[in-house]
Each structure stands twice: as C-alpha cells, then as structure tokens.
Structure 1
C-alpha cells in the first residue's frame, strides 16, 4: 500500500530520495552505516523495487549515499561531508591517477582490459593526422580504487607509439601500480606531451561500460575526451576517459 504522505504531483522516486535525506539529517541513518536492503525499503515506503532503485541512484548522484561493490549502499552524509567519498579531479592541471587516489586513502591499481591493432578510420585519421593507410593501436585501461572500478581509459595511438605505450603499460600492470597513460609519458625521451585539448560531457553507461565499470546500464558517467599534443602541435594520443558519476566530481577555479 502506498504511503499516504506522498504527493501525487512529484515523482515518487524523488519523494523516496527526500525521505532518505530526512533519515540522514535526523541521524536515524549514521554516516558510514549501511542502509536497509531494497526489500526492506520497499516494505517501509510501500513502493516497488524499481522506484526504490531510482531513489537510491538519485541519492548517490546527490552525494547522500555511496555504493561499495559486493557490500551494499552506505550513508555518505550531507553537504561537504556527503562528497568526501568522491574523488575531486582538478581540471586546471594534469593529475597523477595513483596520487589522486592515495590522497583519499584509497589503494590504486590499473588493469589492461584489452588492446588491439586496427586500420585507422576517417575520424581518427583526422584527429591523429594519419594517412588512411595507417594502423593504430587501441589500449583500454581500467583504473581501480581498492579493487573497485572507478574509471575506464580508452586510448588510441599511431601504431609505433602505441606499441611502446602498451609495453610500458604491461610493465606497470605487472608491478601492480596505479597508472594511466599520463603516467607513461615520463618513460619516453622522444615523446613529450605539451598540451591537451579536452571536452567534458555526461552520458549513461551502455552494456559494455556497465559491465567493465561494475554499474547498472544507464548509470550516469562523466566522459572526458582528450587529444594530447607535443610542443609542435602534433597529436600523440586520443583518449576517452569514462568516470563513474558516483565516484568522481570535478573542480576548477576561475577568475573574473
């Protein structure tokens, strides 16, 4: 039976999210505590499991809750406290993956998801300024925090450059360290990044991204698309980074 306190004019899952927020603000649900199961919440609020899941997803996106794979959903708090579990990615400078996570007390690691060599397509030939007869190497790296997927990096390089990055990535993976391609440039004397052009947008996880990042299909993600250039404005790398929306937030300081 539907809870009589709900207002017909407002989406039901948003009202459930508001109820969750009330539980946190009132102290009923303590910061860091595990919230009741979906079944219990369905019974408490008299709504369907789909509605409860939508409400939880909204609360996660708002920073009220956070999820731990295989363990459940927990209270993050409110306001600034509610954002403490999220990684704050600085947009004004290039940041090291492992250092960023360690600043939050998280253990970083990176896994090579896949790599492949293909003929360049028209779009990529223009981005990397390659002839249509060229081959490219695609490299997918999964960044993990405490063994939980946080971000997927999908990079493309001219073949010769890509092979060198792949070899170094294999070494880093074997050493069980956290890294992205940003951290690999330091090993090459003749490949020096000078600047990067980036665009940011929101998107929903498709089947592939959901499986790799261990989230539900449709989960909000941040997509950062980057082209890395050398000092002569020659493109070195094209990369799409898919960040989990419940794990990352982005920060930039701007001046008037």
Structure 2
C-alpha cells in the first residue's frame, strides 16, 4: 500500500496551555506559548477523552480579518515514524483512531498560501488625514480649501482583503493558510490535518492504538484493560518511534 494512505489518524494531547490557534502562522509559533504539557498530564487528558468518548472542538482558524471558521477538533494523517517531529509541538502522547472512523466524520484540510486566496480591493480613508483635512476648512480661506482637497486625495487608500464571498461557508471551515517551506517548523502542510466541525463523539472500538512514553506503559496498559476493557488496543512506546 502507498505509504501516504494512513490506516491510523492521530490526535495528540500535549499541546501547550492557552494557545490562540488563530494567531499561529507556523508550527514554531506554538512554542511561544510554552513547552508541551508534561507526559503524565498528557496521559490524564488522554484518559479523559477516552472516558467521555469525545474530542472537544476547541480550535478555530482565522481566515480573514472579519471571518473565522467554526470551532473544530482535528487529527493528523502522518506515518508512524514521523510522529516524532509532531511531538516537539504537541507532546509525546497520542490517540490513534481507525481510518474508517475518521473518513466517515472528518475532512482533510486544504492548505493554501495567502497569495493564492481570492482578494477584493477596497477603498478606505486614513482617519488621521481626514481629521487634518477638515481642520483646514476651519480657516475659511482659499488656501485652507486647497489643503483640504490635497489631504483628502492622499487620505484615500486602496486595501486588498480576502473575498469571503468567493469561498463557500462550508468549505472555508477546512482552509488552513500557511507558508510552504522545506524547513521543519515553518509550514503546517507537514501536519496533514483532518478536521471535524464541532465535537466528535466516537466509540471505544474506533481506537486502534495509543502512543505513550515507555515509563508510563505499565499504568496505561492496566487502566486500558481493566477500566476501559480495551485489551486489543496497541500500546506503542514513544521511544520506539526513534527506532522505527
């Protein structure tokens, strides 16, 4: 099978706290909010997700100054050994969902450069220059009038804005504006994100595997088998990925 057709889609649980996802321009920006959560905390979140059987929609994308997507949850479609590059931003704990559960409920993101979006040109007036222009009229003389028209002419400016009317409201929920670059941490394109609008309710049978640090495997295995009765789930050590 072609390598880039995944059987497992991953959701990481260790992103830094209090991230404003709408302000991120590249993966490296995530680390401005701090380091990924501690591994023990990430495992706690993983179990909360399994207990609730729900991925919460906590993210949104800002497409334009006056437009943003609906809130969504997401998974990543990347090969197992490439999870290592994901971990530096999202932590070392992940839940792996079966492909069918994702294909039936999620859609792949369309990564697009800002240069390739539809734009519309709008005229606006610099408020400071307009204010200065009207003050010239107070002098009530020919020179003041000439100054008024001169200032109003340079106050008139053209601005390019993304033309939201040319992007369907539904499809715009799956747009991710990014730069394209071969360097690690610069382009979101490497994440191969899939999104679900709103919370995603799943069944425990939809889980194929989890990835956790080696030191926590014993506790995770016991809790998965006893409490959640997920005895057939694959538990992969994060350190194993370095050998894959």
| TM-score of the superposed pair, with normalisation by structure 2 | 0.23
Which one has the bigger strand percentage? 1
Structure with more relative contact order (C-alpha pairs < 8 Å, separation 6 or more): 2
Higher-helix-fraction structure: 2
- State which structure, 1 or 2, has the greater radius of gyration over its C-alpha atoms: 2
User: Given the two structures, how large is their TM-score scaled by the length of structure 1?
Assistant: 0.22
